[in-house]
Chains A and B, each alone.
Chain A
């Protein structure tokens, strides 16, 4: 699904250049649930941004579902993001004046799906994350865990190839975190490919594979026995 070869990325900081990713080789199969771990500054967010086409790499290859991702202009990147990727953010990033259902429907709007179908789909996905009764509430009326579930429903609504989660439990307490991880695991069980960036070991343990990043290189890449979050809920 994802194939990365010798990926380099550096940032210019005035006259200095900060080499963040120093040759990443990495591939993800269909249906995997991968945790990307590392301390801050290890380059894990940069890697996720490149995977999410929010940022470009300096050199190296990146193939997503067999499509080479290279030299994208903004318009093309937007198209690919809409088609291939679903994002889950630490701070949820819901649009605060739109209801849960409208937030979930937004990626479909950019896919040019009709209004009626958008509404039906968004309700269906909210039902999937257990928030059907909250569909017409504003984000401000929802708890943190509920917001993240809306965000997950939104990421799913576009039916992407890969879900990218950037610290999805970073802003939640541990009980809510496990609920969210439980949901992510269930979505993965249905065959969705998911990448989770986290620095919490217990969250990482709930994935099927852990990739450790340190100073811009992968230091460890291991398959783990998945800890089901269900038991903590």
Chain B
């Protein structure tokens, strides 16, 4: 092979020299290669140029910091402007970001350039030492420990040891007990919502009671129970369970008989809270009567008792039994028959 290989290089070049040098082990470690000087190491003018570059970067950083302070003072906090390609942005925010960024970046770039071009780049080898201690140290440590343990009487005085363990085991119980008031017990809180017999369905946007004619065929409306106000302290807690979704489907299209009976003339009221992990389901496809949860894409068929037809939800959306009262308003006939929202162990 050697004779066929680039004779000129094999004979004279550095590669050729080492390739034939060692007949013992051709793969032997040749040791650290000699240091190759950089341009800056041999040419003072080149070094000066690096120096000027670094100094320039540091100077830009200073200017940028001054620019930061000037921007802070000069631009009003609410001034917006169109900046290509970012769109409409706050000028103050953009300028602060750019100036501070440049001020920081140039310090870094200067320091790195300095290190790479002007500081020594001679590689140095340091020895490593075993992490493990030598046998003598190890023996000393074990002897010390043994002596310490014996002097403590820990192994001998079993009564002391066991009572200490007992005390240390019991003590954390106080800490656990202290956590008790983090929250109330679940009890039956998850089984009730604000809905109840005779509560009218209130349009969530207009806050007016809903009539059947407000719900047109193919539409989706959101309702909350009568009596709940947006500035109530517990509005969020209540709406998290009571949120209601109303659809009107042609009665002939409703496959689930019970579901049809629980509604009024094709108006069905389902819990809006997904039975998977509790997002509000809200993407309604009126042709198929499917409703999709935008969080994890559980899909429910509202024409078939809101059964799950795809996705990770485990059971149908609970339906609220409604009717029209004497005044012509939609009204609940009771609370939900089953807990709304994500399922849980005690749900049954």
Q: Do chains A and B interact in one complex? A: no
Interface residues of B (CB under 8 A from A): none
Interface residues of A (CB under 8 A from B): none
